[in-house]
Amino acid sequence: MTKLPIVVALPTKNEAENIAAAIRSVSDHFEAVVVVDSHSTDDTCTIAKSLGAEVVPYEWDGTYPKKKQWCLNHVRPETPWMLFLDGDERMSLELLAELRYVFSRPVNVAAFDIPLEYWFAGRRLRHGHTIVKRALLDRTRCHFPVPNDLDAPGMGEQEGHYQPVADGGAAAVWRLKSRIEHEDLDPVRTWFERHNRYSDWEAWLEHHPEVQESIRQAKTRQGQLFHKAPVKPLVSFAYAYLYKRGFLDGRAGLDYALAMSFYRWQIGLKARELRAEQA
For 224-273, what is each residue's pLDDT tens digit? 555 566 688 999 999 999 999 999 999 999 999 999 999 999 999 999 99
Per the DSSP assignment, residues forming a β-bridge with 111 are 137, 173
Single-letter code of the amino acid located at 78:
E
Per the DSSP assignment, residues forming a β-bridge with 36 are 11, 56
**Number of alpha carbons in the 13 Å side-chain half-sphere of residue 185:** 14
Write down the pLDDT at residue 128.
82
Question: If you write DSSP's letter for every residue of 1-28 in order, what string do you get?
Answer: -PPEEEEEEEEESS-TTTHHHHHHHHTT
Write down the pLDDT at residue 227.
58
Under DSSP, is residue 173 helix (H, G, I), strand (E, B) or coil?
strand
C-alpha distances in Å from residue 78, one per residue of 31, 32, 56, 144, 173? 11, 11, 16, 19, 22
Instruction: Say if residues 229 and 240 touch (Cβ distance below 8 Å).
Output: no
38 burial via Cβ count (<10 Å: 0-12, 13-18, 19+): middle
106 burial via Cβ count (<10 Å: 0-12, 13-18, 19+): exposed
Question: If you write DSSP's letter for every residue of 44-107 in order, what string do you get?
Answer: HHHHHHHTT-EEEE----SSSS-HHHHHHHHSSTTSSEEEE--TTEEE-HHHHHHHHHHTTS--
Compute the mean pLDDT over every residue in the chain, rounded to the nearest whole number. Answer: 92
| C-alpha dihedral sign at 233, 234, 237, 238 | negative
What is the rounded CA–CA span in Å between residue 93 and residue 73?
A: 29
Write down the pLDDT at residue 226.
59
Q: Which domains does the chain have, with CATH numbers?
A: 4-278 (3.90.550)
Single-letter code of the amino acid located at 27:
S
Among 88, 43, 265, which residue's Cα sits nearest to residue 187? Answer: 88
Write down the pLDDT at residue 53.
97
Write down the pLDDT at residue 220.
60
Among 114, 68, 58, which residue's Cα sits nearest to residue 90? Answer: 114
What is the rounded CA–CA span in Å between residue 250 and residue 260?
A: 16
Among 271, 75, 71, which residue's Cα sits nearest to residue 164? Answer: 71
Instruction: Give me the residues of the chain with pLDDT under 50, please.
Output: none
